[in-house]
Amino acid sequence: MSAPGSMKDRSTLMTKAYLEDIIQNMDDTREVPVRKLPFWKNLFRFRDPAQWVIYMIIFAPAGLAFWAAGDGLLFRSLLFMALVLWLALTAAHRREPATELAKYHKVRGNEPLSKEEIQAVNLCARFIYRDMGWYHTLEAGPFCNNAQLAKDPVNDIEFKFLKFYFSDSRAKMLKNDWGLSGRKSTLDMLEKLCLGRQHRTAIINNIDQDGLDRIYKFMTQESEMDPAELHRVIFDDEQEFGVASLAAERKVFSTLKISEKELQTYITEMLQDFGNTQPVLVMGMDLKSKILTYARQLGREIFKSDLKHIYNMPAEAIEYIFKPQGRHGIIPLGWAYDISRGVFVTRSAYMAGYLTKEDAWEQLHNFRMIAAEVFDSWESFFCSEVLGYYAWYSGHSSADESTNAAQQTAQSVLGALKQQFPISNQVDWPESTQESRAMIDGLIAQDGANPFFRPETLEPSLAQQPIPDISAGAGATLH
């Protein structure tokens, strides 16, 4: 873990213009930069009594000149000056949202972020896009402390256009959605999310289930045995059928009225339909291991196909998150889902007053280091987030509901990437550093870490038992 503020390198500060150019959503849009107020609606503000006074003052000299001397040079000069002043005042009014926002950043002490800080903040781009928030500051949008909390200088300024988050509303969200009520519980949750101990490998159970569903449907189509009974026979009732023996395997296939060769042919053809011509290696395995190996490879191809055709994720990113990567052979799977949520919680906890600015940047630095070691691009990171989101959502919803919810997540991710947005055309993916490599080495060196960080059970040639689902703990139910 790093020392507070270690990400801050003022030699790589983004320019002030950069900070201003990506200010978001002053009028509830996702456009960049913020639009000015509409011209015609603000040119004639007749419903505002104060504007009538201004119009009278501006045009009074021209009116008096016309009354006294008629349509002459004096009248036209004064009328021209009045029109210029009118347009200038209108232009100034149209810029008021940006001027107001500049005041907010000044009183909050916000400065242009370094490249590394921008990278860290935008690891939760899905939340930013969903909430129409900010990509360029530690806070997710303008916020202020309530009166009962520490005095906030923002409260001393009158704002007409900014829509504020309030510290107690952020705290309420963290309590209701995440079960967090203070600094200690927040830091404990952030450590779990950073290290991927929440939902990173939960998708393996979904992969198993999708593969088993297809296989059981094929295996039972010619018999009276239903899929649930077949699963019990293969995985639960070893004493009755003794599936570890060759004779017992033959008995199972005989009961199902199919041959093992027919099952192998079915698996091969299904994989080929998904574009996978890699042979499934099951030599020397008992029936339980064979079925799990078949299911895991088939389920993996089903999810890869869904990521491509349903969620519109890039093919290269899909391949990346399902294969061992780096020196330790880490399979990313849904790790980005926890990283993204951790960054969102960090920013929210800062706004709620649970974390200081130094605390928050330290946590974001850790999330950035893990992301740099596990992923190779924003695309692979976001693809992993969609996969992790599906795994989490399916834990309490039907497959159709989970698919629909994951589609919305994918749309937010793709929408963020299509913006004039730091990720797509301003800031590269974080690079691996000596510090980040040391951090991941420490994780792998921990006792019992390898089975978690390297789920070899996704390899088709191996047939181990599924890795148990990792519970989310209290809270964390709405994201």
390 domain-assigned: yes
Residues 129 and 176 in one domain: yes
Contacts 24+ apart (CB under 8 A), 30-34: 30/129, 30/132, 30/415, 30/419, 32/419, 32/420, 32/421, 34/97, 34/98, 34/101
Count of domains forming the chain: 3
Q: Which domain holds residue 420?
A: 10-16+110-202+316-458
Residue 279 has pLDDT above 60, yes or no: yes
Alpha-carbon dihedral angle through residues 403, 409, 412, 413, given to the nearest 10 degrees: -100
34 domain-assigned: no
Phi, psi of 144 (to 5 degrees): -150, 155
Q: Where are the alpha helices (DSSP H) in 195-323?
A: 203-219, 227-231, 238-241, 246-256, 260-273, 287-309, 315-321
Residues 193 and 331 in one domain: yes
- Assess contact for 107 and 393: CB atoms under 8 A: no
Q: The whole model's pTM is what?
A: 0.78
- Confidence bin at 147 (pLDDT 50/70/90): low
CB atoms within 10 A of CB 24: 24
Residues 386 and 283 in one domain: no
Residues 428 and 350 in one domain: yes
- Assess contact for 177 and 392: CB atoms under 8 A: no
Mean pLDDT to the nearest integer, 462-466:
37
221 domain-assigned: yes
Residues 434 and 335 in one domain: yes
Instruction: State percent of the chain over pLDDT 90.
Output: 30
Residues 391 and 406 in one domain: yes
Residues 238 and 337 in one domain: no
Residues 330 and 429 in one domain: yes
pLDDT per residue as tens digits for the range 20-78: 444 443 334 444 445 566 666 666 666 777 777 777 888 888 888 888 888 888 888 88
Q: In the prediction, which pLDDT does 14 show? A: 39
Residues 326 and 432 in one domain: yes
4 domain-assigned: no
Residue 461 has pLDDT above 60, yes or no: no
d(C-alpha 61, C-alpha 74), whole Å:
10
Residues 338 and 452 in one domain: yes
pLDDT per residue as tens digits for the range 288-332: 888 888 888 899 999 999 999 999 999 999 999 998 888 888 889
d(C-alpha 97, C-alpha 20), whole Å:
12
DSSP 8-class letter at 393: H
> What are the C-alpha distances in Å from 262 to residues 218, 256, 266?
10, 11, 6
Residues forming beta bridges with residue 426, ordered by sequence position: none
Residues 46 and 79 in one domain: yes
pLDDT per residue as tens digits for the range 185-210: 999 999 988 887 767 777 888 898 89
62 domain-assigned: yes
pLDDT per residue as tens digits for the range 152-198: 888 888 887 777 888 888 999 999 999 999 999 999 999 988 887 76
Q: How far apart are the first and last CA of the chain?
A: 26
Last residue of a domain, one of 254, 274, 307: 307
d(C-alpha 40, C-alpha 174), whole Å:
42
466 domain-assigned: no
226 domain-assigned: yes
Helix (H, G, I), strand (E, B) or coil at 122: helix
Residues 214 and 292 in one domain: yes
Give kind and range of the element (H or E) at residue 407: helix 399-418
Q: In the prediction, which pLDDT does 474 show? A: 35
Mean pLDDT to the nearest integer, 331-354:
93
Sequence-ordered list of residues with C-beta below 8 angstroms from that of 3, at least 6 positions apart, any chain? 362
430 domain-assigned: yes
**In 3D, which of 384, 403, 394, 273 has the Cα closest to residue 332?**
384
- Assess contact for 247 and 332: CB atoms under 8 A: no
